[in-house]
Structure 1
Amino acid sequence: MTDRIAQLEEQIAHLQRMVDELSDIVRIQGETLDRMARRVGALIEREAEREADGGAQIPLADQRPPHW
């Protein structure tokens, strides 16, 4: 019975380590997604300003597609 308990404790230790590693991975991915979202937002703002400075042109986002 003590062998079985030792096996279970070892398995729990491995699972705990795996959970900790996955938690770190999820945290890093969340930080990466946040950083990418900020960059995309900045690019969208920059493009909107560029289109607005372009003069009387209708911004591409507001134009109808050619098939309409």
Structure 2
Amino acid sequence: MSVELRLMELETRVAFQDDALMTMSDEIARQQRDIERLQLQLAALARRQEDLAGQVGEPLGDEPPPPHY
């Protein structure tokens, strides 16, 4: 196999690897945005749950177990 052919093969491999890395990087960035959005939604839901528990007068989750326990 000639040096030129090997060099061309290596350049092709590097190009495919660069593309794969860019695709993975874009996906990781998208997932990070999704995680941040979900964390904000979770925090909002937790605040809402606390507000509702305050309106009821007792904290949610501190209820005694049902009689069959």
TM range (shorter): 0.7 to 0.9
Q: Spell out, residue by residue over 1:12-47, the C-alpha distance to the aligned partner (whole angstroms, 9 max, x if none).
A: 000000000000000000000000000010000001
Find the residue that maps to 2:24 and give its secondary structure: helix
Q: TM-score when scaled to structure 2? A: 0.84
Cα distance change on mapping 1:11 and 1:47 into 2, 3 Å: same
Give aligned pairs, total: 65
Using the size of structure 1 for normalisation, the TM-score is 0.85
Query: Deviation above 3 Å: which 4+ runs of structure 1?
Result: 61-67
- RMSD, aligned CA: 1.4
Which amino acid in 2 is paired with 1:46? Answer: R
The one-letter amino acid of 1:3's match is L
How far apart are 1:63 and its partner, in Å?
4.4
Unaligned segments of structure 1, at least 5 residues? none
